Amino acid sequence: MSEILLEVRKLITAFDTDNGLLRAVDQVSFDVAKGKTLGIVGESGCGKSVTAMSLVKLLPQPAGRILEGEVLFKGKDLVATSPEDMRKIRGNEIGVIFQEPMTALNPCHRIGKQLSECFLLHKGLNKKEAWEASIEMLKLVRIPAPEQRIGDYPHQLSGGMRQRIVIALALACRPDLIIADEPTTALDVTVQAQILDLIKEQQQKLGTSMILITHDLGVIAETCDEVVVMYGGRVVERAPVLEIFHNPRHAYTKGLLASMPHMDTPRKTMLPVIPGMVASLQNFVYGCRFCQRMKREGSMLRERPIYKEISPLHWVEACPHCTEGI
């Protein structure tokens, strides 16, 4: 087992709403090892993005806050870190790649200015050095003609190019950890393949760890070492990638894997489905939330299912209905 870079322990993040305090992330725990990629997968509203944004404390203010738990990054608890210190960590030691490359870049500034900012703020370079370092970064993410492109505004670039810039921004200060929230969802498959290869290559070169958030199980299978499956704000299963795909234990993980059409499923046949839909945050039960979706009212577990390790590194939320035989 390699060295642990980030440890998340029983993290609870809640939002103040008109319906009271709602827990979007409910006791989530996982580790990220050095140089490895952890995938977080789940459907919309499962809390995967809120988990990621809690780690770097970029929650919508003033509604969102971390209620409990620890986020240990290189041994330091980020939950207790002051906003000033967080600013020094973000962009420097932890890089973030957001989903929408258009909104993640400032439309009013040339990309060179936005890239140099990282170097000016975190690395103490002067303007000229920062500008040259920015050109280097553009070369690294394989933007053609970087000396010319560096003077462009974001709207002058295509979606794929913009996402490369966002990756360059995240990588600029050689962070130890990259958090990528749906980095390729807005892109075409061919561009997605380019971007994923680029991220992987840079990660291997620099030994960076990554948290990759996506709803695409194909992307998970191709890029991750370990996977966390989230449902209703909780981790229902967590295991190494091969184990998740070949030996899933939780009914939700099994359902997700089965409901995707594969290239070899017979055409025009009915796909297996997960009935019902995700309940809204305020209607979630305390007990097993997947049982709630499956409408097992009578026999549903009233207690919160226990999150336990069933075989080395394979954790599941143990419920008599959703995880048979555990």
Partner 1 sequence: MQHLLSVENLKIHFPVHGGVFKRQIGAVRAVDDVSLTIAPGETLGLVGESGCGKSTLGKAIVRLYQPNAGRISFQGEDITKASQSKIRPLRREMQMIFQDPSESLNARHSVRSILEEPFLIHGIGTKEERNIWVAELLDRVGLPSSSVDKYSFEFSGGQRQRIGIARAIALKPKLIVCDEPVSALDVSVQSQVLNLMLELQQEMGLAYLFIAHDLAVVKHISDRVAVMYLGKIVELADADSLYRNPRHAYTKALLSAIPVADPAAKKERILLEGDVPSPINPPRGSAFGHRMKHPLYEQTIDKELPLTEIATGHFVAADPCCLSAEDYALVS
The residues of the shown chain that bind partner 1, judged by CB under 8 A, are 43-44, 144, 158-161, 188-194, 196-197, 215-222, 224, 241-242, 245-246, 255-257, 259-263, 265, 267-268, 270-275, 277-278
Nearer to partner 1, 116 or 323 (CB): 323
Nearer to partner 1, 224 or 322 (CB): 224
Task: Provide the minimum distance between the beta carbon of 271 and partner 1 in the complex, in angstroms, as a whole number.
Answer: 4
Show Cβ contacts of residue 317 under 8 Å, excluding neighbours closer than 6 positions: 234, 235, 236, 237, 250, 288, 305, 306, 307, 323
Nearer to partner 1, 59 or 224 (CB): 224
Task: Provide the minimum distance between the beta carbon of 166 and partner 1 in the complex, in angstroms, as a whole number.
Answer: 16
Task: Provide the minimum distance between the beta carbon of 12 and partner 1 in the complex, in angstroms, as a whole number.
Answer: 24
Task: Provide the minimum distance between the beta carbon of 325 and partner 1 in the complex, in angstroms, as a whole number.
Answer: 23
Nearer to partner 1, 56 or 244 (CB): 244
Measure the CA–CA gap between 188 and 289, rounded to whole angstroms: 34
Task: Provide the minimum distance between the beta carbon of 43 and partner 1 in the complex, in angstroms, as a whole number.
Answer: 4
Task: Write out the E strands in the chain.
Answer: 4-17, 20-33, 37-41, 64-73, 76-77, 94-97, 177-181, 209-214, 226-231, 234-240, 306-311, 314-318
Measure the CA–CA gap between 147 and 111, rounded to whole angstroms: 11
Structure tokens at 65: 């806050």
Nearer to partner 1, 57 or 293 (CB): 293
Task: Provide the minimum distance between the beta carbon of 283 and partner 1 in the complex, in angstroms, as a whole number.
Answer: 12
Structure tokens at 217: 């199980």
Considering only CA atoms, which of 114, 180, 121 is closest in space to residue 150? 114
Considering only CA atoms, which of 121, 142, 120 is closest in space to residue 130? 120
Nearer to partner 1, 117 or 225 (CB): 225
